[in-house]
């Protein structure tokens, strides 16, 4: 059998190592075999290639470098300033993560970091659950380059520095795979950009694909406006899904959720019911805290793709926080049937069972959750068990659970808060104080911390501190009635003086 045919067949069957070996054999015999050279390049690229359309975690440096963003956006037009608590009408409010984003159904890139100032980003503790890359280029992109270096014992396959890019760009058959090789395998974005520029000359700027790659390079360099123009031009050449998705990424990065939504809607007219677009819309709505619309789109996704884990999980969370644990339980059970098997799922199942009053399952669910829990999520599992303990009035157990949670993740602000309340009930007011204070420095976005602190300070008579702290609470959660009442009391008191 022809060696080249074997290589092709292996490439198709995703046996890249064998394919590379066969190509190397051919290239040893005839070093100028362009086809074998290209195939080897493709195989090397395919080994490390990732679908880079999934949002990368935005680095801390990016948030500083983006000077084009409006600092005080109107509510609902920015991720930094989401519409305030539309979900309030539905009763319960979703808790927030340490960084101040509302809790999402799934952990995906972007749900961890908050969109705030650099100061905020630096102040949030860098624990396992909230670490963000500090540099502009994400860790994943950097890793791509280093991983590729390791795999090649006899040195790099292509000496990029010796490559006459103009010549290769004019060879249309090779230029596109070569670009991918440079972009994904070598991770040499600058050189990839050079190649794009040369190739655009050759194709007279008529190929949307090159325009998209140009935009991607700009995106990595953080030049969002340039990337936007490139992608807009690509859309004019041919409206393709990938360009729409990339353009959405750019608008999200530019903190323009409204524009991103408009774009997605336009794209939906061309690519009807496309799940990726619907997912983007749902995520954006979630990001600007418009949960009902987000859930609507997640439902739409389920109509299209009933196996979409993200949609199922997000809807389940929505039901849970709108006081319908029975419905949430059904969604989580479906996830379990689909083969999801992890601590988070069992934890959520346990919670749903508890709130749906199916007490028989609660203990076994949490037992499983604990047996599956790793260090990152064990703290959350213990924290939730403490809630069950509070629910059954076993405060001693609750306290121990919270202590366990804190021993795993000392920056678990919600656990700190609840421990403070328990300590207060044990009449250890000073301990309670210090816990609240520590927690509010870790997670300033939890209004409960501020409110509890305000209450305590008011009780001991430190009215001034109480006044300032309760204002913080209202700032975080403007609709909190108890905070308003406390503030009113304080104001009346001050006016008496």
Partner 1 sequence: MSLFKVKDQWLTTCGQDETFDASSLAVADLNGKGSDQIIVGSHSGYLRVYECVAENSAEIEYTPACLLIETYLEQPILQVAAGRLTSGIKERHIAILHPYKVAVYALSIIEGTVEHGTETRLVLMYDHVLLKSTYQLIVGPFGSVRDRDFLCVQSLDGVLLFFEQETFVLNRSLPTFLLPSPICYVPQTDSFIVFNAEWTLESYSYQALGDSSDRKLNPSWRYNLGEPILDIQNLIMNMRESAIFVLGERNLFCFSEVGLMRFMKRLQFTPMCFHPYFIAEGEKLMVLVVSDTETVLVYEKTVLRWSAHLSLSPVAISRVNFKALKGLIAVLSESGELRCGVLGTEPSLFVAPPLKTKSATHQQNETKLKQLKEEIKYHASAGADLRNSSSTSTDSELKALYKCVLNSDENTCQILLELSTKSSLSDIQISYEATPPICFHAPVQKLPILCDKTMIENQVVLDYNYDIAVPSSCELLVFISYFNSSGLPKVLRQSTNVPDQFIFDSFFSANDASQKTPGVSTIGNLLSVTLNAAQSIALPILFSEFVNDRWEAAGCTDSRVDFMIRSPTGDETPLRFTVSLEEGAKYKIESNSTACLSLGARSLVERYQRHLLSKKLSRSHSGNQPLTYMSHLPVDSFLKVVDKYHGLVTRQKDLETELAELTCQSRAVQKRLLIKLKDKKIDSLRSLESLHEDTHWSILKLSREVETLQQAVKGCSSELHGFLGLLIFLLSLTPHISDEELKDFELATSSTFYNSESQNWLDVTYSALQYILQKSEKSDTFVAKPFENIEEFKQILMQAINRLSKGIAHQILEEQRGVFPILETDNEEELADETSLTAQKPFNSQATGVMKLSPVAETTQPNSLDEIFF
Beta carbon nearer to partner 1, 238 or 392: 238
DSSP letter at 272 equals T
Instruction: Residue 358: name the closest of 394, 336, 395, 333 by CA.
Output: 333
Q: What residues numbered 211-240 form the site for partner 1, per CB under 8 A?
A: 212, 238, 240
CB 317, min distance to partner 1, A = 6
CB 151, min distance to partner 1, A = 20
d(CA 417, CA 438): 9
Q: What residues numbered 150-179 form the site for partner 1, per CB under 8 A?
A: 172-174, 176
Q: What residues numbered 357-396 form the site for partner 1, per CB under 8 A?
A: 364, 367-368, 371, 377, 380, 383-384, 387, 390, 396
305-334 mask for partner 1 (x: CB under 8 A)? Answer: xxx-x---x---x--x-------------x
Instruction: Please check whether residue 195 is in contact with residue 163, taking contact to mean a CB–CB distance below 8 angstroms.
Output: no
Q: What is the CA radius of gyration of the chain?
A: 27
CA angle 240, 241, 243 (to 5 degrees): 70
CA angle 65, 66, 69 (to 5 degrees): 150
Beta carbon nearer to partner 1, 256 or 417: 417
CA angle 305, 307, 312 (to 5 degrees): 100
CB 153, min distance to partner 1, A = 26
d(CA 404, CA 255): 38
Beta carbon nearer to partner 1, 126 or 303: 303
Beta carbon nearer to partner 1, 154 or 427: 427
Binding partner 1 by CB under 8 A: which of 117, 134, 475, 493?
493
CB 316, min distance to partner 1, A = 8
CB 173, min distance to partner 1, A = 3
CB 159, min distance to partner 1, A = 21
Binding partner 1 by CB under 8 A: which of 8, 55, 69, 361?
8
Beta carbon nearer to partner 1, 5 or 359: 5
Give the DSSP H or E segment for 243.
Answer: helix 241-253
Beta carbon nearer to partner 1, 80 or 450: 450
28-47 mask for partner 1 (x: CB under 8 A)? Answer: ------xx--xx--x-----
Q: What residues numbered 407-426 form the site for partner 1, per CB under 8 A?
A: 414, 417-418, 421-422, 424
Residue 394 half-sphere exposure toward CB, CA atoms < 13 A: 11
Which two tokens mark 183?
Answer: 């972009």
d(CA 89, CA 159): 62
CB 79, min distance to partner 1, A = 20
d(CA 81, CA 75): 5
Instruction: Please check whether residue 300 is in contact with residue 278, taking contact to mean a CB–CB distance below 8 angstroms.
Output: yes
338 binds partner 1 (CB under 8 A): yes
Q: What residues numbered 255-294 form the site for partner 1, per CB under 8 A?
A: 271-276
Beta carbon nearer to partner 1, 28 or 496: 496
Beta carbon nearer to partner 1, 81 or 452: 452
CB 38, min distance to partner 1, A = 6
Residues recorded for the chain: 497
DSSP letter at 101 equals P
CB 77, min distance to partner 1, A = 25
Give the DSSP H or E segment for 5.
Answer: helix 3-12
DSSP letter at 183 equals I
Among the residue ranges 23-31, 131-139, 259-267, 343-351, the one whose residues contact partner 1 (CB under 8 A): 343-351
Binding partner 1 by CB under 8 A: which of 347, 411, 440, 445?
347
Alpha-carbon distances, residue 396 vs 339, 381, 389, 401, 402 (angstroms): 36, 17, 8, 9, 10
Beta carbon nearer to partner 1, 92 or 142: 92
Q: What residues numbered 436-455 form the site for partner 1, per CB under 8 A?
A: 446, 448, 452, 455
- Torsion, Cα 492 494 495 497, to 10 degrees, reads 130
The phi and psi torsions of 131 (rounded to 5 degrees) equal: -70, 140
CB 189, min distance to partner 1, A = 19
CB 33, min distance to partner 1, A = 11
Unique residue bearing structure tokens 């999980």: 313
Instruction: Residue 80: name the closest of 68, 91, 72 by CA.
Output: 72
Instruction: Please check whether residue 143 is in contact with residue 26, taking contact to mean a CB–CB distance below 8 angstroms.
Output: no
d(CA 105, CA 317): 6
Beta carbon nearer to partner 1, 245 or 260: 245
d(CA 7, CA 38): 12
Which two tokens mark 428?
Answer: 């250890």
Among the residue ranges 70-78, 117-125, 156-164, 304-312, the one whose residues contact partner 1 (CB under 8 A): 304-312
Q: What residues numbered 87-126 form the site for partner 1, per CB under 8 A?
A: 95, 103-107
Q: What residues numbered 186-205 form the site for partner 1, per CB under 8 A?
A: none
Beta carbon nearer to partner 1, 142 or 270: 270
Task: Tell me, by CB under 8 A, how many residues bind partner 1.
Answer: 93
CB 436, min distance to partner 1, A = 9
d(CA 52, CA 248): 13
- Looking at the DSSP assignment, which residues form a beta bridge with residue 102? 96
């Amino acid at each position: 059998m022809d060696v080249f045919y074997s290589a092709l067949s292996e490439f198709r069957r995703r046996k890249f190592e064998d394919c590379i070996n066969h190509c190397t054999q051919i290239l040893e015999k005839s070093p100028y075999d362009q086809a074998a050279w290209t195939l080897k390049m493709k195989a090397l690229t395919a080994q490390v290639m990732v679908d880079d359309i999934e949002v990368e975690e935005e680095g801390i440096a990016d948030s500083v470098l983006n000077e084009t963003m409006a600092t005080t956006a109107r509510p609902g037009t920015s991720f930094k300033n989401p519409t305030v608590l539309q979900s309030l009408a539905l009763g319960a409010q979703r808790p927030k993560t340490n960084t101040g984003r509302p809790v999402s159904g799934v952990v995906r890139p972007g749900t961890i970091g908050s969109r705030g100032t650099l100061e905020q980003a630096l102040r949030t503790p860098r624990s396992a659950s909230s670490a963000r890359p500090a540099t502009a280029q994400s860790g994943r992109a950097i890793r791509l380059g280093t991983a590729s270096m390791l795999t090649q014992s006899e040195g790099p396959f292509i000496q990029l520095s010796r490559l006459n890019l103009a010549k290769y760009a004019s060879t249309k058959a090779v230029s596109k795979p070569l670009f991918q090789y440079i972009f994904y395998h070598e991770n040499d974005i600058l050189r990839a950009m050079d190649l794009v520029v040369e190739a655009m000359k050759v194709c007279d700027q008529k190929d949307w694909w090159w325009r998209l790659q140009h935009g991607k390079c700009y995106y990595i360099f953080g030049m969002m406006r340039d990337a936007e123009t490139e992608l807009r031009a690509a859309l004019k050449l041919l409206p393709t899904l990938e360009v729409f998705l990339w353009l959405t990424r750019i608008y999200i990065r530019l903190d323009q959720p409204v524009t991103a939504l408009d774009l997605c809607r336009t794209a939906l007219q061309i690519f009807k019911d496309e799940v990726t677009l619907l997912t983007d819309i749902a995520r954006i709505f979630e990001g600007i805290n418009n949960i009902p619309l987000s859930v609507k789109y997640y439902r739409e996704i389920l109509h299209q793709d009933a196996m979409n884990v993200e949609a199922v999980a997000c809807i389940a969370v929505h039901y849970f926080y709108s006081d319908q644990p029975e419905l949430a339980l059904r969604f989580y059970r479906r996830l379990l049937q689909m083969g999801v098997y992890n601590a988070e799922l069992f934890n959520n199942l346990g919670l749903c069972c508890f709130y749906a009053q199916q007490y028989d399952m609660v203990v076994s669910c949490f037992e499983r959750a604990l047996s599956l829990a790793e260090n990152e999520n064990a703290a959350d599992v213990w924290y939730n068990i403490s809630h069950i303990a509070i629910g059954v009035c076993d405060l001693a157990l609750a306290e121990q659970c919270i202590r366990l949670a804190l021993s795993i993740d000392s920056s678990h602000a919600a656990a700190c808060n609840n421990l403070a309340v328990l300590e207060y009930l044990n009449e250890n007011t000073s301990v309670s104080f210090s816990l609240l204070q520590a927690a509010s420095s870790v997670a300033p976005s939890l209004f409960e911390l501020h409110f509890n602190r305000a209450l305590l300070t008011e009780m001991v008579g430190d009215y001034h501190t109480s006044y300032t702290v309760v204002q913080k609470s209202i700032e975080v959660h403007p609709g909190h009635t108890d905070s308003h009442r406390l503030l009113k009391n304080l104001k009346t008191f001050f006016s008496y003086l």
